[in-house]
Amino acid sequence: MYSAVAASPPRRDFISVTLSPEEAVGVGGYNNSKAWRRRSCWRKWKQLSRLQRSIILFLFAFLAVCGVISFTSMGEPWKSLTNKSLDEQRTEPEIPGLKLVNPAVLPAPQKADANAGDYPELSPQKQPKLPHIRRSPSNLQIKPPRRDVRLKTRHATSKIVEELVQADKEEKTEKSVISWRGAVIEPDQSTEPPSSKIKESEKPSSLEAEGQKEPVPINERQMAVIEAFRHAWKGYKDFAWGHDELKPLSKSYSEWFGLGLTLIDALDTMWILGLKEEFEEARIWVANDLIFDKNVDVNLFESTIRILGGLLSTYHLSGDSLFLEKAKDIGNRLMPAFKTPSKIPYSDVNIGRGTAHPPRWTSDSTVAEVTSIQLEFRELSRLTGDEKFKKAVDEVMKHVHTLSGKNDGLVPMFINTNSGQFTHLGVYTLGARADSYYEYLLKQWIQGGKKENELLEDYMRAIEGVKKHLLQRSQPKKLTFVGELAHGHFSAKMDHLVCFLPGTLALGAHNGLTADHMKLAEALIETCYQMYEQVETGLSPEIVHFNLHAQKGHKDVEIKPADRHNLLRPETVESLFYMYRFTGDKKYQDWGWEILQNFNKYTRVPTGGYTSINNVQNPSNPEPRDKMESFFLGETLKCRWDTSGR
């Protein structure tokens, strides 16, 4: 018994564990590192069965799909909420009851490198400056007409507009129409671009339009405009470089102010046409030779629209501060014109001496001149931060707004700089001496963000006054035209200058005003085209008279010997530009093309330049005048370029 117990093995009360050296603490064992945790998780994952792993993977995939669906469903409400918040922040004051479209104002241009040699590729669709039209007003020719052509009743003219819009009104939806201070304005006027009337198959996609970086290819007609500009510029460069105007026949020049009017007027056109070499040459002249410290009298209006306007628009296009500095210089030198008892500016300023005065023969200024400098001066204030320019011209508009002597919004042609009152009362025209007053009312309203109600009120009242007193129809083609009113007597006389009106009406309709303005614009641009079409050379005279009664062998248009000259004016082609851009109707392109061809046929001088002519009724001898106005390069060819585009 004892021997059995003694033979059994001894009992152990401990467990022996042997560790490899690399597993020992302090030599690589567990130390809560990320690598150790990853190995530990992976061991646990491998310890799971295949079924358990499959279930976990399925749950993760299911949760991911649910997350994507939830994000998609929540995205649209969030986007709408964000857009709504932004729209509320951007809401601008409106005229009570009037909702307008396109309220944006031209943003301040970005500063570019002053190096004139670095120019971006230019697109033909570049927006030009707002054209300034009224130049060298024609002689006042308002005579009491024969009794048989007097305006019989006020209802006769309003009936014309009613007939023009009748078909359009029948197609309208049940939108409410707001009557605002005597003017009819639609709450939600459509402003579709020209492409909206082109077939859907021809439209580029929105993505293509947004991502398009390259300029639109230049077409054949645009190339013809470029060639015409280069031909005109060649004459100026060869025979009139640095002077105001070219005399292409005598291969010489004429001076008005001695400030290179043609060169400055043409700067922005060269930029738009992509003529980099010509632009660079002109820029060098501006930098080195354009000096305003001269003892010379300049006309406030003409200097503003040709020099100040030309410099500002070129600055906007190029971003070159040189042009802004020059614009500020001339702007300061024009300010003495506003030092009058009435704040209505004098017509003439000596930019070297800092003095101003009215014309020698009168103390009156023309209404068009004192109310057609506002766009440039207001923009100069915006760019420089100096409010004095804007304040001076705004005072003029506020003063004119309060004056008596208007006839249903129509203004007389003259205003006295001492008393500040209209003179020569009773004569109303949309031609010389009053024309651009109406144009600038609308453009100032747009320029100011559509907030200045007085400007819109004056514009709308004036258009109603035109409908009421000045509209008539000719015979035999029943062309709608704008005549003149002199002391209650209607005259069937229409200046070529009045052809600014179709484009202005279209611009207003595009910016939210009543649709009957566009219908009237369409009728009037047809009339302006017929002022070219019914003339032997295909070029419009300065003034026409319309026949109010059908006569065998007579056209709608009659021309008096004193009125049959053509000055290469831009009013009709500018309106064609607006009409094509806002309607997409290619007939306006074709009409502009015809006009350019006739300019080439009857006004082009072989050695360079184009000339105004004395007789548009004589194709064999149009009697060239030996003068190329600066606005032919600054406006006429610019509008032709834009009308030639797609």
Contact residues for 89 (Cβ-Cβ < 8 A; gap 6+): none
Q: Would you put residue 392 in left (φ > 0), alpha (ψ -120 to 50) or beta?
A: alpha
Judge whether 302 counts as a catalytic residue.
yes
Per-residue DSSP letter, 558? E
Q: Omega into 476 within 30° of 0, i.e. cis?
A: yes
Contact residues for 24 (Cβ-Cβ < 8 A; gap 6+): none
Q: Which residue has the tokens 């014109």?
A: 337
Cα distances (Å, whole numbers) of residue 478 to 167, 366, 474, 475 = 17, 33, 5, 5
424, two tokens: 């020569």
Nearest alpha-carbon partner for 494 in 478, 505, 503, 483: 483
Count other Cβ atoms within 10 Å, centred on residue 115: 8
Q: Give the whole-angstrom CA distance, residue 590 versus residue 73.
A: 51
Q: Confirm if 345 and 338 have CB atoms less than 8 A apart.
A: yes
Q: Confirm if 564 and 614 have CB atoms less than 8 A apart.
A: yes
Nearest alpha-carbon partner for 489 in 71, 151, 101: 151
52, two tokens: 């358990």
61, two tokens: 């995939």
Q: Give the whole-angstrom CA distance, residue 480 versus residue 566.
A: 22
Per-residue DSSP letter, 106? P
Nearest alpha-carbon partner for 310 in 253, 246, 261, 256: 261
Q: Give the whole-angstrom CA distance, residue 246 versus residue 629.
A: 8
Instruction: Name the catalytic one among 186, 244, 268, 302.
Output: 302
Instruction: Name the catalytic one among 464, 542, 556, 563.
Output: 542
Instruction: Name the catalytic one among 571, 574, 635, 642.
Output: 571
110, two tokens: 């970005």
544, two tokens: 């026409």
Q: Give the whole-angstrom CA distance, residue 318 versus residue 331.
A: 20
The amino acid occupying position 348 is: D
Judge whether 571 counts as a catalytic residue.
yes
Cβ-based burial of 78 (10 A; exposed 0-12, middle 13-18, buried ≥19): exposed
83, two tokens: 């857009």
Element of type H or E holding 545: strand 543-546
Q: Give the whole-angstrom CA distance, residue 461 versus residue 440.
A: 14
Cβ-based burial of 604 (10 A; exposed 0-12, middle 13-18, buried ≥19): middle
> Hey, which residues are catalytic here?
302, 435, 542, 571
